Chain A
């Protein structure tokens, strides 16, 4: 029996409002923090850490997209393009003006927020399918613009190499060093989102999602809050783009094409819309899926087919299972991994009694 709430009495408003009101949760978070900060970088190899790094980058983007889709109820198929806006802004600033990482990171985010808000303007008039198609158009138009304006894209290669990031005079070179930087970014993004969704702003977003007309009558300025949702969400996307650019050491629009937008939508659908834990789980799931498949096929697939067919099959298998996962979660568990986690937790609350 793991009835966590037993014996917890809140006597102040501050205690009621705290992010993690239960002592068990606080301990669990502490343990997870220790694991992430101290244990994992010690025991994992560089390769495994690079997987963690990719997950951390994806977590930032998924959290941001979730603010827009999960909390505000607007659709965006253009987040890959917003990421590229952040990426190229940061890369241009870093290369042309020689600005340090701590300036280019927020600058990339702000630029993406600006563009994202501009794309969000039609959301006042249109919603649902039309908004989806508008953001799809934004994705294609931004992609084309980057591709065809040498000032942004840095010439014929359409890619800009950037130096490794450095903070306070420390240069992040190896995967292990980048791990701490990206962990910090993912952590800050998570805490910021947790605080955002319980603030006045977050509640306004949820009100718009649940019933926009009712929200307007309650005094929420829909236009302003929808634009804010687009801007905040795109800010996260821009930061994701900057992080990814510095992680790879190069800004390239091919990393931010429409399938990336779809990947991120899949993350929040699979993880669970309208939660903070969901996008984190979804980001891990979608990032690890191809790695898992590759590992499985390389160990098992050799029995069925030869090397060359295997290499051709893996990306297609990944695509297929990715689609199957999206559809399965939509039909069977619309609230995603987050719901599965809550269900299993609730099961153990009364275990071994049935109620």
Chain B
């Protein structure tokens, strides 16, 4: 085994893993506060990516593109919560799952109709000189993405620990009725939770778009969200980070060492195997709340 090669795979895996954590954070925020499951997380990342690329291309300014994408996602999330998710409150799990799947179909159908299907470039204002750290060469887009992911994770950890709104959301997730009785405006915080998920997804969309280029295929990163959140625990931000890191490292190692043996595709496959194992052993994840429900 070539140690340098392994080291490179792990380093890349950590950077990618942090970016997975950023996307998974969007999922966790919604689940933590509203108990809703977002199967459209991939499309939530794709949509702002496309918006950012279009605006950045038209105005020739990356920052404007990113700002517009974030703003658009906030507006969209509020609208979505009000029109689709609130009427579904208290309905079975499958109703919310199907609604978000429907939403995913709408986003995947509408955006190409509006902005065309060809992939759009979205360049970070960093240049593409690879960054050299010791013997490693890293892509600037990946490093920037990991940095954004880390800061978002720190901010939201603080938010849920110390901020009044964050505490209210935790209370809401624990027991909606009790929180409501203690004066928490539940519907308002529902909307806030979705908007926060929108912001995080927009950041994810911009960073992933900068790395991969922007088109409908960007939504496929959403498929990685499930292994990440199941491994980490559905309602834990720290779990999302650790889950993201594990998935990132495992898939990179798998792609590096198993792909040559079986002919490709292990990257998308390995995280799911890991996830099934996690589901069988610890379905609530490493840091998730343990809900005891005997069937």
Contact = CB atoms under 8 A, between A and B. Distances in A.
Give the interface centre of B98, B103, B279 by most chain A CB atoms within 10 Å: B98
Contacts of A313: 113
A122 B280 CA distance: 7
Contact of A134 (B105, B110, B279, B295): B279
Contacts of B107: 323
Interface string A114-143: 000000001011111110111011001100
A325 B105 CA distance: 10
Interface string B250-288: 000000000000110100110011011001100100000
Interface string A303-334: 00000000011011111111111110011001
Nearest to A324: B106
B97 A127 contact: no
Give the interface centre of B97, B101, B104 by most chain A CB atoms within 10 Å: B101
B295 A148 contact: no
A44 interface: no
A323 B102 contact: yes
A350 interface: no
Give the interface centre of A73, A147, A316, A321 by most chain B CB atoms within 10 Å: A316
A325 B101 CA distance: 11
Nearest to A261: B101
- Main SS class of interface, B: helix
Given A126-B283, A148-B262, A317-B113, A334 B95 contact: yes
A178 interface: no
Give the interface centre of A132, A144, A323, A326 by most chain B CB atoms within 10 Å: A323
Interface string B185-216: 00000000000000000000000000000000
Nearest to A156: B263
A134 B99 CA distance: 19
Interface residues of A, number: 46
Contact of A141 (B87, B88, B97, B272): B272
A75 B97 contact: yes
- Main SS class of interface, A: helix
A130 B279 contact: yes
B109 interface: yes
Give the interface centre of A127, A144, A321 by most chain B CB atoms within 10 Å: A144
Nearest to B107: A323
A34 to B, nearest CB: 36
Nearest to A319: B109
B253 to A, nearest CB: 17
A122 B279 contact: yes
Interface stretch (A180-188, A243-251, A262-270, A337-345): A262-270
Interface of A: 69, 73, 75, 122, 124-130, 132-134, 136-137, 140-141, 144, 147-148, 212-213, 222, 262, 265-266, 269, 312-313, 315-327, 330-331, 334
Interface of B: 37, 84, 87-88, 91-95, 97-99, 101-110, 112-113, 117, 223, 226, 230, 234, 262-263, 265, 268-269, 272-273, 275-276, 279-280, 283, 293-295
